[in-house]
Structure 1
Amino acid sequence: MKYVIGIDLGTSSVKIILVNQLGIVIDEVSKTYPLIQERSGYSEQNPEDWVHQTIDGLADILKRFDGDREEIEGISFSGQMHGLVLLDAQQKVLRNAILWNDTRTTVECQDIYDAVGEERLLEITKNPALEGFTLPKLLWVKKHEPDIFRKVSNFILPKDYVRYRLTGQLHMEYSDAAGTLLLNVSDKTWSREICDMINVDIELCPPLVESHQQVGMILEDIANKTGLSPSTKVFAGGADNACGAIGAGILEDGKTLCSIGTSGVVLSYEASQEKDFEGRVHYFNHGMTDAYYTMGVTLAAGYSLTWFKDVFASNESFEEILEGVGSVPVGSNGLVFTPYIVGERTPHADATIRASFVGMDSSHERKHFIRSVLEGITFSLNESIEIFRQSGKRIDTIISIGGGAKNDEWLQIQADIFNATMVRLSSEQGPGMGAAMLAAYGSGWFDSLRDCAEQFLIEEHTVTPIPENVVKYKELFTLYKEVYRKTKELNNRLAMFRS
């Protein structure tokens, strides 16, 4: 039997899965690492933590593996998007990585618009300038840490740095490069025009490769530390959302994904780059060659639930706090939550907006707040689905992965708010499975990623919308959308009081 390994470098942990030729997950391990938040809006990590935990996780997998290590043919990666890793001429890390959920770069986003122009930026990159993207972070370091910036030889993204440390080879693939604001998404080349306009040397951009492309082999030192064979092939991998799409079979027109992790994503396959969403949702290169995907993002999806648990129920499991949700009626007895605890991205590119509970009264118990959080997260994701439908896309079936797929009550809430059939996969491994599939395809096991998906992915459970709930949620969704408009100015004025 042959095997591949998928490595998913997330925001809170690295998850590693060992998958055989039948698509069965043989083993998995997760290793956590800390988030560094020195000020409100700042979010960083030490790249060495990623490397250390990835190597430890691989070693754990190999210790438990009772086969021949030569049977593990390939490794590929999924990774958190947009994070900025800066390397000097010796490829040493110059500072902590600035992550996707860091919102310090509002001024730099305006600087990009001033230099490039909003219309031209959308023409080249298909995306607006948002705080979460990589280029604003690069300009922030250039402006605020000039001594560090002068030493920069390359910038790369989180998974690319881990892959570099395992192989000694430096690359970036298209699905992650599309989230930097430096890639010409249609031409699949770094944009010299943008680099020149913002006065950034294009040589800082690493070589570009396809997601399924082999980029190296495991270094001997890493082989000794992990137990892997030095002959193990390493493939480029993809951005977490691109890999999540692959791992859910979003590989042809009409396929849509809802992924709820730390952030939340609604993603739909696009066969070409010709559609114009005017920057209202993201438009990125897929991990599948010459394909694309549109994507809406809720910055604090699962994180909103984690925040609530940590603050109000730190000694309980998620299963425990969700127990009473099914007994709460649609609309949480008149309680509405907006999940803006770290700002928002789609459709409101707003780093200043903050979360609200609206409609609280003395009748509300904890279970009402919990259901309200679940509904608010889902309402936020539905704003992206609404944009897709307004563009003419038909969305009647959605693959759900991540935390939102694991709880049946939440899955029903999604079906009712989205007004679509929700599908849960039998082995839901999300981006990690997508990374493993890229390794399987790259290793020559299948003629295409679609063939791989047919073998690896099996539907386990479907949930259909309840008509009376759909009607109620449609009305509540209208009220939900008003909260942003009515609290925007208030939050702007409150910003000066935040530390």
Structure 2
Amino acid sequence: MAARYVMGVDVGTTSTKAVLYETDGSAYESAYAHYPLIKENPEMAEQDLDEIFSAVLKTIKAVTEKAGLGPTDIAGIGFSSAMHSLILLDGEGKPLTRSITWADNRSKKYASMLKHSEVGQRFYEKTGTPLHPMSPLSKILWLKAEKPDLFQTARWIIGIKEYILWRLFGEFVVDYSVASATGLFNIREFRWDEEILEFCGITGNMLPLPVSPGHQLSGLSEEVAELLGLAPETPFIIGGNDGCLANLGMGAIRAGTATITIGTSGAVRMTSDRPHLSPEGRTFSYILDENHYVNGGAVNNGGNIFDWAIRQFLPANIPDEDLYDKAMEMIANVAPGADGLVFHPYLNGERAPLWNADARGNFSGVNMLHTRDHFLRAVLEGICLNLKDVLAAVIRMNGEPIKIMASGGFSRSQLWRQILTDIIGMPIEFPETFESSCTGAALITLKSLGLVESVDDAEAMMGASIEHQPDADSKAVYAALFPRYQEMSRLLQEFYTEK
């Protein structure tokens, strides 16, 4: 009997997810593995390579076992991963570094120098990657300048997904989608950019071979295949980056649909048939596949900031399992606008809309009547107002959306969904898609295997969704608040010192 399932695996910043789908796109089974982000100082954000590789094996194995599958029941496995990671390997493939993630800020001095130069603007226009310490371009310049002995030892410069696939198949390949977020890849010519490589002091043979997101790898070792419960010839599809695949997995493949995601961080995106770049360098343009680009802006500060606020503002005697529900109960006690209390959520620096690694969070408008409840509501509103700020920049480059969709862990809260809708001021659809980046990887897999004709079929494969309409009174409050929020964020820029 023909294989009935495909799997999508998403290698994220603090967890790896694997989801099993039937070939009609409906989710069937899932598994998760969590791991810490290594922060030995405030600017560091790294991952342990063995932990990540083990998490990938663990989640694939868990899904096959939970679903009771045989070795030939899975038609293929597609991969998604977080963008912007960098790993140095020596000539024998031995790691010289951990995985340096998008959240690592140690290269901010070099990103700032590029950002304020003509050559930096030219690089941005070629690559679609904003000039920020998140990008491998900045990380390479930092390592070259401050760790020259280590850098000179490197034979390979790769990311986390490339490392996993090399461990599994012994090949150094990277999909166009992940490559397009490195700051080294020409997004119009689909190749490593020679001018940028020369500027960095590296050559193309130090980088993985760029391939289509539908590229297949096969030939697992007998040992790994037996561990995972797969046939050795099971095709692994290289897939794309998590942001682009999240858009695909939500069915937001056509022009005119904007998506908002809030996980640990967050993003606003719109799919197009060509790149759209901001003259100020405030938006990105990454490749989904040969026919689609995803344009938008990503933020550092999403659900992680709400988690921080819960720890700071909730009473210590509340059990951990009740914290989230209690926080929502407290927020519901406060009127929209938090009685004038405004929060800028830049606790981790910020990517869009500021692209300033030195930005910091702040509360303003504090008075004696504000309670813990007000501070919690202001934090949640600040996260959403920041995304509205990014959406405004994306709309300037891509045009007004005809539809807005949103997803992420926050969407399980009816209150948070409604606050986001009221702040954006337009109806928002919340699809019931399960792990949208995994779903996007599964859809790329279906296309690669010839089980669907085009990724344009994604919209038709999506299931039910919940739609929220903005409340007129709340919308008016936030419409009046947003200009103040935006103006204050720009005025405070002069106090964020770039070093």
Look up the match of 2:50: 48
Match in the other structure for 1:300 = 301
Percent of matched pairs sharing the same residue? 28
How many angstroms apart in 2 are the aligned matches of 1:421 and 1:161?
Answer: 41
1:279-294 pair list within 5 angstroms? 279-294=280-295
Instruction: Please name the residue that 2:444 is paired with.
Output: 438
1:83-482 matches, cutoff 5 A? 83-112=85-114, 117-273=119-275, 275-313=276-314, 315=320, 316-391=322-397, 393-455=399-461, 457-482=462-487
The residue identity in structure 2 corresponding to 1:240 is D
Tell whether the 8 Å contact from 2:331 to 2:377 is kept in structure 1 after alignment. yes
Q: Residues 253 and 456 of structure 2 are in contact (CA less than 8 Å); yes or no, is this contact kept in structure 1?
A: yes
Paired residues of 1:217 and 1:234 also in contact (CA < 8 A): no
Q: Which one-letter code corresponds to 1:246 in the other structure?
A: L
Query: Residues 367 and 110 from structure 1, CA distance in 2 versus in 1: closer, same or farther, beyond 3 angstroms?
Result: closer
Unaligned runs of 5+ in 1: none
- What is the SS of the residue equivalent to 1:117? helix
Post-superposition offset of 1:426: 2.2
* TM-score normalised by length of structure 2: 0.93
Equivalent-residue separation in structure 1 for 2:468 and 2:378 (angstroms): 20
Instruction: Report how far residue 435 of structure 1 moved.
Output: 1.2
d(CA) in 2 for partners of 1:330, 1:346: 25
Moved more, 252-261 or 155-164: 155-164
Counterpart CA distance in 2 for 1:44 and 1:60 is 25
**Count of residue correspondences:** 492
Q: Residues of 1 paired with 2:76 and 2:219: CA distance?
A: 9
Tell me: CA distance 1:128–1:392, structure 2 relative to 1, closer, same or farther (3 Å).
Answer: closer
Instruction: Give deviations 1:439-496, integer Å, cap 9, x for gaps.
Output: 12212110011224422x113210011222222111111111133234334443xx99
Matched to 1:283, the amino acid is F
Task: Indicate the larger mover: 62-71 or 179-188.
Answer: 62-71
Report the CA distance between 1:146 and its aligned residue.
Answer: 1.8
Paired with 1:358 and 1:114, the residues of 2 have a C-alpha distance of 30
| Unmatched runs of 5 consecutive residues or more in structure 2 | none
Per-residue CA deviation, residues 266-287 of structure 1 (Å, 9 max, x unaligned), is 00011113x4422543333332
CA contact (8 A) 1:122 1:128 kept: yes
Residue 110 of structure 1 and its aligned partner are, at CA, apart by: 4.1
Query: How far is the alpha carbon of 1:116 from its aligned partner?
Result: 6.6
Question: Which residue in 2 is equivalent to 1:483?
Answer: 488
Letter of the aligned partner of 1:162 in structure 2? Answer: I
Residue 363 of structure 1: how far off its partner (Å):
2.5
Q: Conserved in 1, the CA contact under 8 Å of 2:130 and 2:284?
A: no
Task: State the 1:290 CA deviation.
Answer: 2.3
Give 1:113 shift: 5.5
SS in 2 for 1:70: coil
CA distance in 2, matches of 1:223, 1:414: 44
Gap change, CA 1:209 and 1:277, over 3 Å in 2 = same
Q: Compare 464-473 and 36-45 and name the one that shifted more.
A: 464-473
CA shift, 1:114, in A, is: 7.8
Q: Which amino acid aligns with 2:297?
A: G
TM-score (norm 1): 0.93
Deviations 1:348-388 (A, max 9, x none): 11111111122223332333222211111111111121123
Aligned mates of 1:116, 1:200 — CA distance in 2:
21
Separation in 2 of the partners of 1:276 and 1:7?
Answer: 30
Q: Which amino acid aligns with 1:464?
A: Q
**Mean alpha-carbon deviation: is it higher for 439-448 or for 163-172?**
163-172
Greater Cα shift, 42-51 or 404-413? 404-413
Counterpart amino acid of residue 387 in structure 2: L
The residue aligned with 1:74 is 76
Q: Secondary structure at the match of 1:322?
A: helix
Question: Structure 2 CA distance, aligned partners of 1:228 and 1:214?
Answer: 16
Cα displacement (A) at 1:312: 4.2
The SS at the match of 1:364 is coil
Distance in 2 between residues matched to 1:346 and 1:301, nearest whole Å: 12
Q: CA deviation at 1:8?
A: 0.8
The answer to whether the 8 A contact 1:253-1:270 is kept is: yes
Q: Distance in 2 between matches of 1:414 and 1:267?
A: 16
Taking the aligned partners of 2:215 and 2:325, their CA distance within structure 1 comes to: 40
With over 3 angstroms needed to count, the CA separation of the structure-2 counterparts of 1:116 and 1:360, relative to structure 1, is: closer
Amino acid at match of 1:446: V
Give 2:59's aligned residue.
57
1:126–1:279 Cα contact (<8 Å) kept: no
| Per-residue CA distance 1:246-281 (angstroms, 9 max, x = gap) | 1111211111110111111000011113x4422543
The offset of 1:73, in angstroms, is: 1.1
| Secondary structure in structure 1 of the residue aligned to 2:19 | strand
What is the CA RMSD across the aligned residues, in angstroms?
A: 2.0
Superposition deviation, residue 203 in structure 1: 1.7
Which amino acid in 2 is paired with 1:414? Answer: L
Offset at 1:147? 2.1
Mark the CA change 1:298 to 1:251 in structure 2 (over 3 Å): closer, same or farther. Answer: same
Task: Work out the CA distance in 2 between the residues paired with 1:473 and 1:365.
Answer: 20
Deviates more, 1:118-127 or 1:150-159: 118-127
Q: Secondary structure at the match of 1:258?
A: strand
1:115 Cα deviation after fit: 8.0
Shift of 1:14: 0.5
| 1:112–1:198 contact (8 Å) kept in structure 2 | no
